[in-house]
Amino acid sequence: TQLLEQSPQFLSIQEGENLTVYCNSSSVFSSLQWYRQEPGEGPVLLVTVVTGGEVKKLKRLTFQFGDARKDSSLHITAAQPGDTGLYLCATQYNFNKFYFGSGTKLNVKP
């Protein structure tokens, strides 16, 4: 069992649609990060959430940290082809080791 479970694994949508991806765990975290990775490149940090219930916005992307700090979601409004990529959540746990979820592969079709 993975520490961070992401869903869905794959998402293919049309430009202009909204979507939400999830990152869930049974463990409590002090912080959680979201990254986007494009093929052949390293992940790019999008946001860090630290407070239960926290909501952060980055243009059309809205990130939420669950009240109990066990889960997080990423909502994209009016998706664009440039949003295509692998979305990863990550955290530090177990004596500060780094863990990543398996990711959600998003494809936004024009």
Partner 1 sequence: KAGVTQTPRYLIKTRGQQVTLSCSPISGHRSVSWYQQTPGQGLQFLFEYFSETQRNKGNFPGRFSGRQFSNSRSEMNVSTLELGDSALYLCASGQGRPYEQYFGPGTRLTVT
Residue numbers at the binding site for partner 1 (CB under 8 A): 30-31, 33, 35, 40-45, 48, 50, 88, 90, 92, 95-103
Output the furthest CA–CA distance in the chain (Å, rounded).
44
Give the CB-side neighbour count of residue 5, counting CA atoms within 13 A. Answer: 7
Nearer to partner 1 among residue 45 and residue 68 (C-beta):
45
Give min distance, CB of 66 to partner 1, in A. Answer: 16
Give the CB-side neighbour count of residue 78, counting CA atoms within 13 A. Answer: 2
Nearer to partner 1 among residue 31 and residue 62 (C-beta):
31
Give min distance, CB of 98 to partner 1, in A. Answer: 5
Nearer to partner 1 among residue 74 and residue 79 (C-beta):
74
Give min distance, CB of 14 to partner 1, in A. Answer: 26
Q: How far is 88 from 33, CA to CA, in rounded Å?
A: 8
Give min distance, CB of 78 to partner 1, in A. Answer: 27
Q: How far is 21 from 104, CA to CA, in rounded Å?
A: 7
Q: What are the phi and psi torsion angles at 40 (to 5°)? A: 75, 5
Kindly state the tokens that stand for 91: 């955290």
Nearer to partner 1 among residue 21 and residue 79 (C-beta):
21
